[in-house]
Amino acid sequence: MAIDFELGKKILATVNASRNLDVKTLDADILPHPDGKDIFVLHSNMKFPISRAQAEKVLEKFAIPSSVLEDVPCDEGTLRFTFDTLHCLGLYLIPYLSYGILNGGMATSYCDVKNNSKFNPELFDQCQNTFESLSEEYKGKPKGITPAYINPDGSPGYDFIELKMRSVLRHILQSQAVTGKPASEYQHALFQMTSYNTDEKLAARYKEYKNSPILKPLIEASEVDVTKPESAIQPLIPAFTPTTAGYPLSFFKDKNGDYYALPGGHGQNFIVLRDIYKKLLAAGKKFVYLGNVDNIGFTITPVELAALALSGRQASFDFSFKTPVDIKGGILIRERNGRLTCGDIGRAVSDAFVKKNEDAGIPILFNCATGLFNLEYLVENLDRIIENLPIRLSNQNKDIGQYSQAEQITWEVIGLLDSLIIFAVEKNQRFIASKLLMDNMLASDLECCRPYLASHEETDFVQAVRSVQKGLIWNLRTQYGLELKNGRWIPSL
């Protein structure tokens, strides 16, 4: 295992010097709601106002024909884009976009028994045999090249990354049909951050993807090969002893006396991918998507791309309306200084503050871990972001033992930006995350899960599961162009 001990020592020194890397409580003023200015609900009836003068500048910058404005209503110099007109404009912007995948590590935590069993022990007991069978297949592989879902007939579905590559290719083909631009305009369409544990295995799998039944026809039709993404390797840093054992912390060793190492959080992408961001900008890209490999709902959304380009803002992010089962993660808040930011429930924002607003019926926007960045702004501000993105420390209790992990969280970048757009999205369309293998099993509606779900149908937990199941089907059909035949999802004609 290639461990960057020098980087680990620097981070450990920071941790021991501060002895408190929990997120400090933010000075929350209000929980913001869609206002048609900074926060928009992403749906078919949405309206996005922008001055005609600004829109014409954007069209000129990206060499987009003025005819795309013909169907956009104009009122006293203000264009009011709809979902459909934004989508059309977004297709013209696909050549300027690169889609970024933040790869997870090996499927160790994903298949960890402790993590998978503790959130619902009764359900896990009923599914343990199926869980053990699947986990044996997935262990030792990077999560991104394990099945994103399980077919109704019990066979493995297509891989997480395989699906993402198909989605990118589908959008490229849609864009080519509108713009008539050649394949050369769509190069560098995909990039990724890997780790030392995953990089070689991912690369080997990507070679197989060239003949994938859901990729090969699209690669040939578009003449764009997305199986060779721009790539950079995230260093592994040693895990630390748990904070419960007391300070100063030291490097953690497992029961065999070996050091245990992990990537330092996806927030390290800003330094790991720094040269790639600069290369993409030099190649003519103007926007980059960033999202997690295990989120099936993370796909290109032309509407968001068009809105960001028209507004000239620094980035946009997806949030969904919080449900009762969303108890761990970040929510959107506006601080008293007027700045929008994302704060973790229980750490940056108190549980009492959240409950008070929920009891009052105030909608809360929950982070979906998807961001779209203005690449020119990002490259210009990389050093500032790298310097100011905080290091967080969390205690872990897994099969390997108890340890603490230092990481940087990508979405804390929201609080470092001055000008952004928030999209309130449908959670079951944009955020279907398989953090655990049990998440995947539930979303896939496996037979072993059904008795428990049927007997607890009215609970918040089961209602959330049903929503995810519907979202998986919607994504496979709509975003990935698959259809269900004889118990398996296959490419639709």
What's the pTM value of the predicted model, to 2 decimals?
0.92
What pLDDT is recorded for position 493?
67
- Give the single-character DSSP code of 437: H
- Predicted local distance difference test score (pLDDT) of residue 25: 61
Question: What is the structure's pLDDT at 147?
Answer: 97
CB-based contact 406:391 (threshold 8 Å): yes
Residue 363 to residues 128, 156, 326, 332, 431: CA-CA distances in angstroms? Answer: 37, 38, 13, 11, 18
Residues 141-170 as b/e (b if ≥16 CB within 10 A, e otherwise) read: bbbbbbbbbbbbeeeebbbbbbbbbbbbbb
The closest of 414, 408, 419 to 386, measured between CA atoms, is 408
Give 331's pLDDT tier (boundaries 50, 70, 90): very high
The CA distance from 407 to 416, in Å, is: 17
C-beta atoms surrounding 70 within 10 Å: 8
Residue 301 is predicted with a pLDDT of: 98
Q: So what's the pLDDT on residue 420?
A: 97
Mean pLDDT, range 438-447, rounded to an integer: 96
- The pair of structure tokens assigned to 175 is 């864009």
What is the chain's mean pLDDT, rounded?
92
Q: Which residue has the tokens 């428990």?
A: 452
What is the CB-side half-sphere exposure of residue 255 using CA atoms within 13 A? Answer: 5
And the tokens for 203? 């690369």
Cα–Cα distance measured from residue 482 to residue 473, given in angstroms and rounded to the nearest whole number: 9
Can you tell me the mean pLDDT for 464-470?
Answer: 96
The β-bridge relationship of strands 420-425 and 39-41 is: parallel
Distances 1 to 110, 235, 260, 401 between C-alpha atoms, Å: 19, 11, 9, 18
Give pLDDT tens digits for 133-178: 999 999 889 999 999 999 999 999 999 999 999 999 999 999 999 9
Chain segment 314-329, per-residue pLDDT in tens: 999 999 999 888 888 8
Q: Which residues contact 491 (CB under 8 A, 6 or more apart)?
A: 213, 214, 217, 481, 482, 483
d(Cα 190, Cα 170) in Å, to the nearest integer?
A: 13
Greatest CA separation for the chain? 72
**Partner residues linked to 37 by β-bridges:** none
Compute the average pLDDT of residues 226-255.
92
Residues 6+ apart with CB under 8 A from 102: 192, 193, 266, 269, 290, 291, 292, 293, 410
* H helix or E strand, kind and range, residue 305: helix 302-311
As a whole number of Å, the end-to-end CA separation of the chain is: 44
Q: What number is the average pLDDT over the span 182-211?
A: 95
> Is pLDDT of 22 > 70?
no
pLDDT value for 278: 98
The pLDDT-based confidence of 339 (bands split at 50, 70, 90) is confident
Residue 373: band (very low, low, confident or very high) from pLDDT cuts 50, 70, 90: very high
Q: How confident is the model at residue 477 (pLDDT cuts 50, 70, 90)?
A: very high
Domain limits of the chain? 5-491
Q: Are strands 330-335 and 340-344 parallel, antiparallel or unpaired?
A: antiparallel
* Residues forming a β-bridge with 322: none
pLDDT band at 261 (very low <50, low <70, confident <90, very high): confident
Cis peptide before 263 (omega within 30 of 0): no
% of the chain exceeding 70 in pLDDT = 97
**C-alpha closest to that of 422 among 325, 248, 304, 343:** 304
Return all residues near 192 (Cβ < 8 A) that are at least 6 apart.
Answer: 100, 101, 102, 103, 202, 229, 230, 231, 232
DSSP conformation class of 142 = B
CA distance 30 to 252: 41
The span from the CA of 124 to the CA of 267, in Å, is: 32
Closest of 480, 447, 449 to residue 158, by C-alpha: 480
From 295, 277, 304, 270, select the one nearest 421 (Cα to Cα): 304
Residue 425 reports pLDDT greater than 80: yes
Scored b (16 or more CB within 10 A) or e, 293-315 reads bbbbbbbbbbbbbbbbbbbebbb
Count of positions (residues) in the chain: 493
Q: Which residue has the higher pLDDT, 116 or 327?
A: 116
Instruction: Please give the DSSP secondary-structure letter assigned to residue 172.
Output: H
Average pLDDT over residues 85-109: 92
Quickly name the fold that domain 5-491 has.
Spore Coat Polysaccharide Biosynthesis Protein SpsA; Chain A (3.90.550)
Residue 81: predicted pLDDT: 97
Which residues, at least 6 apart from 288, have a Cβ–Cβ distance to it below 8 Å? 97, 98, 99, 100, 191, 277, 280, 372, 373, 375, 378
Mean pLDDT of 248-260: 92
